[in-house]
Amino acid sequence: MLKVKRLEAYYEESIILNQVDLIAPKGEVVCLIGRNGVGKTTFLKSVMGLVNTPKGSIKFNEEEMISKPTYYRARQGISYVPQGRDIFPQLTVEENLLLGLEVRSGKGSIDEKIYELFPVLKAMLKRKGGDLSGGQQQQLAIARALVSKPKLLILDEPTEGIQPSVILEIGRVIKRLKQEEKLTILIVEQYLDFVVEVSDYYYVMEKGRIVAKGLTQEINKEEIQKCMAI
């Protein structure tokens, strides 16, 4: 589904990503882990075309995306939930969800499956997004991304600042999306227990490079924690 090879990314003259390779197979959940400031969010933004990536390859469904604009990538089926959620606080929950249809030129309607995955949102459709708790806002952000019916869902730190009960709910949703929808999901995450619970593959990033990778079921949590603590 997603194949990234020898990717480099820059902010002005500073190199942030250096020769990064990563594969997200179709229908699988892949987690990119590492300490703060090592380039994880920059990698996600690179996949979306939001930062300068002069070298490397980003193939989505075998199509090269490295020079494509962000809106094109979104229309091809890549949906991104950024760190911090970025919902519209003055719009209602329903209006926030309807914005997810813009990728399809506003056509269609909100699938009832969204409310099945996130039942709390159905009871709050007329409430403003800014009045929701942090966990509810995160669920809204993920739901809005799913409204566009993506082929690849990208989540940046979905558990950050979220209460444990909502983390469990988000984990449940991710597993359902994989099992029932065969959705490919790429997640940046630091909560290692969550990574182990939801993902099939993991990559560890350090200073803009991938330094470890493998099957999550074979992960050595102690070694990974040491790496993240350096």
Domains, in order of start, for the chain:
2-84+150-229 (3.40.50.300)
CA distances from 158 to 81, 83, 110 (A): 8, 7, 22
Whole-number Å distance between alpha carbons of 204 and 57: 19
Query: Locate tokens 């995306």: which residue?
Result: 65
Alpha-carbon distance values, 110 to 9, 19, 97, 141, 229 (Å): 35, 39, 7, 14, 42
Q: What is the pLDDT of residues 96-150, one digit of tens each?
A: 999 999 887 767 789 999 999 999 999 999 999 999 999 999 999 999 999 999 9
> Residue 96's CB: how many other CB atoms inside 10 A?
24
pLDDT in tens, 165-219: 999 999 999 999 999 999 999 999 988 889 999 999 999 999 999 999 999 999 8
Strand partners for 55 = 8
Q: Which amino acid is at 13?
A: E
Dihedral sign, Cα of residue 213, residue 32, residue 150, residue 194: positive
Q: What are the tens digits of pLDDT across the range 40-80?
A: 999 999 999 999 899 999 999 999 999 999 999 999 999 99
Per-residue model confidence as pLDDT tens digits over 11-25:
888 899 999 999 999
| Chain centroid to CA 195 | 13
Q: Kindly report the pTM of this predicted structure.
A: 0.93
